[in-house]
Structures are given as C-alpha cells and as structure tokens.
Amino acid sequence: MLTPEMVSPWFARIDARLQPLVRRRDSVIVMLRQDSGTTSADSLFIAFRDGYASAIDSIGRETWDDAPFQNWLISSTAASDSAERFFDARGFALTLSEGSTYPIEHTGVLVATVRPFLTSALRDFLALREHDEAQGFSEDGALLIPWDSVGERVAAWERLLHSYPVFVARQEAQGWYDLYLSTYFLGMDHSPVFEKTLMPDLHTSYQRFLLLHGNTRAGRLVRTYLDILRSTGFRNGPPVAAFLLANHIAPMAAVQPPTR
C-alpha cells in the first residue's frame, strides 16, 4: 500500500504522464476550428481521439496493475475520493473492473470541448457514447444495466446508423450496435438469456421493444425470434442457433465485453 509519504510523489508521477494529454486535448480545438463543421474536422478529431484513447489506456493498464495504489484506494473513502478528484480535475474518469480501479477517457469532457466544431453526425455519435459511458455496461461478464436499457441502446444506435449512412465514425457505431444487439439476444456469461426457458424479464423486455420499436430492423428480428421461441416452448435449441447464425448475431460466450 502507498504510505502517506508516497502518495504525493505517486500523483506527481501520474500527473506528469497526464499533462501532455491534457495539452493535446486543449490544443485540438485550434486545429478543429479551421475546418469547423466539416468532415475534415471530424476526421481530424477521430485521429486525435484514437491516439488520446491509446495513451490513457496505457496509463490505465499501468494503474490497474499497481498493487500499492490499488490497496491504498480501498484503504479508506478519503483515499478513493482524493483519487477521483485528481483524475476528474484533469478531465478523466475512474472506472472499476475485476476489482481494480483505473483512469479512462471521459467522453463527456471531450464532447464539451469539441462539440461546436464537429458535424451533426459525429456530435450525435459522441452523445450516445457519453450516455452509455455514464450508465456503465458490464462487470465480470455480467450486465450492469436492465434488459430494457440494452434494448434502448440497440434502438438508439440503429437510429444513428439510419440517419447517417456515411460518416467518419460509422464503423465504430456499427460495432456498438452489433455488440448491443448480440447482448440483447445472447446475454453474457453471467447474465444468461436462458435458464431452462427464456428468462421472464427478457421476454417482457422483448414485448416492450416491439411496442416501442417494432418497425425497426431490430424490431423485426425480435418479432421473428419470439415466433421461433414459441415453436420451441421458449427453449434454446437448433432453431434458435440457426436464426442467430442467419442474421449474423455474433456469439457472446467467453467474450469480455466493455465495462462502459
């Protein structure tokens, strides 16, 4: 565990790693302003974000593996609060995964910084990511949000993809849509879709989804899926597997989903 005399040097060392990222985040505004509201600005931002996220991920991995820091964090509420304030003041968020806490990119800070200079497509994309990050998603292969929230994410990302057939972050947007769709149909290792039969709360969520989003692609998939499940007595089996394969709904078994 970090001793009291070790705490300040630890934060000073991490601050020295973070400050170049803070300066890079602040300076990107100058570059974006020149092409404000264009796809060129969007492309510039995505290139910046990729490097920015990679750099904070590197710091996050180092922090995740730092046993003295992790032990100090759990030693008291004051310790965890001071760490949260430290990273928040620099525009980063702390997250927990598998018992360890580490800093990550804070999309909300990025959105507040760059929103005026981006196209509507990328603004809407970032707004969805900001929403999803704030809610969280999974921990240790288990959902942290209700099934209805998973369904709403499916619908929201499908709307985005439908609204903007071409934009610079479309591939990433498609990835989030596919992830949430697969989760809605297949669950996670510790959030199963079936016990002996379809989980009752998920069945209820599917019915709600049809009422609200029945005319979407996902709604049509849910309707067909329920028809197949009725034919199997709501049990898993070959017809279910065939449906998922035919519709390119990727398996989630042994997949480590994102925490946020």
Residue 132 lies in a domain: no
pLDDT at res. 37 = 94
Q: What is the pLDDT of residue 78?
A: 92
Does residue 165 lie within any of the structural domains?
Answer: yes
**Where residue 157 falls among pLDDT bands split at 50, 70, 90?**
very high
If we measure between CA atoms, which residue out of 134, 258, 98, 245 comes closest to residue 186?
Answer: 245
**What number is the average pLDDT over the span 229-253?**
93
d(CA 67, CA 73): 10
Number of domains in the chain: 2
Summary mean pLDDT of the chain: 93
Give the pLDDT confidence score for residue 110 in this predicted structure: 85
In a domain, 124, yes or no: no
Is the same domain home to 184 and 255? yes
pLDDT at 225: 97
pLDDT at 239 over 80: yes
Which of 51, 85, 118 is where one domain is finished?
118
Is 43 in the same domain as 149? no
The predicted pLDDT at position 251 comes to: 83
The sign of the CA dihedral 72, 76, 78, 84 is: positive
Residues 32-45 have a mean pLDDT of 94
**84-93 pLDDT, tens digit each:** 999 999 999 9
Q: Are residues 1 and 99 in the same domain?
A: yes
The model's pTM is 0.89
Residue 110 and residue 5 share a domain = yes
pLDDT given for residue 203 in this prediction: 97
End position of a domain, from candidates 88, 118, 148: 118
Contacts of 85 (CB under 8 A, 6+ apart): none
One domain, residues 105 and 167: no
256 and 151 both lie in a single domain: yes
Q: How many CB atoms lie within 10 A of CB 88?
A: 14
Are 171 and 212 part of one and the same domain? yes
Are residues 259 and 144 part of one domain?
yes
> Is 123 domain-assigned?
no
pLDDT at 256 over 80: no
Name every residue whose Cβ is closer than 8 Å to that of residue 18 and which is 6 or more positions away in sequence: 59, 90, 92, 103
Q: What is the mean pLDDT of residues 177-182?
A: 96
Closest C-alpha to 249, from 158, 148, 171, 180: 180
Q: Residue 179's domain spans which residues?
A: 140-260
State mean pLDDT over 164-186: 96
According to DSSP, the residues that pair with 188 across neighbouring strands are 191
Q: What is the pLDDT of residue 5?
A: 87
pLDDT bin (cut points 50, 70, 90) of residue 97 is confident
Same domain, 161 and 101: no
Residue 79 falls within a domain, yes or no? yes
Work out the pLDDT band at 111, boundaries 50, 70, 90: confident
Q: Identify whether 70 is part of a domain.
A: yes
What's the pLDDT score for residue 254? 67
Q: Establish if 12 belongs to a structural domain.
A: yes
Q: Are residues 67 and 169 in the same domain?
A: no
Q: What is the per-residue pLDDT for 4?
A: 84
**249 with 178, same domain?**
yes
Measured over the CA atoms of residue 128, residue 130, residue 133 and residue 135, the dihedral's sign is negative
Whether 53 maps to a domain, the answer reads: yes
Same domain? For 4 and 102 the reply is: yes
